[in-house]
Structure 1
Amino acid sequence: MTIRNLFAPLFGLGLLLGTQAALAATPGAFTATYNVSQGGEPMGVATVSLRAADHGEWVYRKDVKGTGGLAAMLGASTSENSRFRWKGDVPEAVSYDYQLQAAIKNKQRHMAVDWAKQQVSVDEGKGPQTYPSRAGMVERNTLALALGLALREGKQQVALPVAVRQEVQTQNFKVTGKETVKVPAGSFHAERIDRTDADRGFSAWYAPDRYPLPVKLSQHDGGDLTMELVSYHAN
């Protein structure tokens, strides 16, 4: 099992130009914590936060610290920091930074969007690569937030332009049912949403009338990791 598999980013999306009603639908600042496990074994703790920044932009951050198994032995931790602007109720990407730190490996990625030039730049330490941006584009860290807001609007199918390593990729999701989910934060009658255009994507369970983030998330393509909500606090 590689460090990349242990700490593949688990979730992620972007908006601020809408009407007053649209702005009221976007969440305010918050902090949430999750237990992270792999194969049913505790692996780490994740802290997710949203706060207002300058120039009408927002910062969405996820930090994962290894507390069990190989992740703890290697002192592994990841940090994902996204800056975005609200476009309606979508977090439209401005920048994204990813950093992995461990005893045997460090890795980082920086993405920036130049909306004036309609260009995305991605640099993983070997020089930047560029590709065209798309309006309403999110990135992998804020994806879970964008999905939660779409579900709160009652959408059953969601297609999102997501900035990945070499392109903007349209990713498709669908509500596949309602299930009772028990996590440390409580028991929820949740909506399950799955990615439908990938063999191994992720599944997430939301209580959209309660939280903009999932109460549980299971990622299938990065080491079969699971996140379960422990607490959520509006700041």
Structure 2
Amino acid sequence: MLKEIRCAGDLVIEARAISPDFRNEEVLALFGQQSSLTHLPVLMADGRPLGLINRNIFHSMMTKPYYPELYSQKSCITFMDKEPLIVEANLRIEQLTALAVATGNKVFTDGFIIVQDGKYLGIGQVLDLMHAMTELQARQHRQLVESIEYASVIQQSLLKPSEIALEQTLPGNHWLIWQPRDVVGGDIFHFSQREDGFLAILFDCTGHGVPGAFMTLIAESALEQALNQQGDRDPAAL
């Protein structure tokens, strides 16, 4: 079973981090030794992120004429992104997505740093975030479909007594078509036998779909109360 991703901490990738004391020649060596290393977070002494070094940007700078001679012994913060996206581990996926979009293009190549109470945990990649958001939307869609189907079951059971009463009162001498526009609808009917005849009511409730279906439940409950209080002789009172 796949892990359900709800917050930024679920996307964390453990990645090596370095201190500002690292020189650019040491960063170059690290990237050379580990081809899979794409980013290097830079941390302060207390474990809080200071910035993020992008492998491609770093290499593009260090291969410029005279740059190795000028910057090899300089601190790694020279070519560091000093304003990376930093998020808390408990940040919801929806909020993280909005932040990533607001941050701009660089987050798609650099990713983001994940912290807990401000202290470094690891990094996250936008591709993983996109997969998580897609799964979240699919899960929400499934929940919506299930709620609609459940509402349909409730609505059908609500109408069943009226269908039975209609068949018993007018056997073979009636027709009725009730077909909501969606799986559930905002229009229903009520039919019941009375001492000297029958009572038939058509409801046109506000809305469609699930909201309309819940309105029909409220309307049916209100009708039962009105019948108990007002009787069935005065349509206006009902």
TM-score by length of 1: 0.25
Which protein is bigger by CA-based radius of gyration?
2
Instruction: Tell me: higher relative CO, structure 1 or 2? Use CA pairs within 8 A at least 6 residues apart.
Output: 1
- Bigger fraction of residues in strand: 1
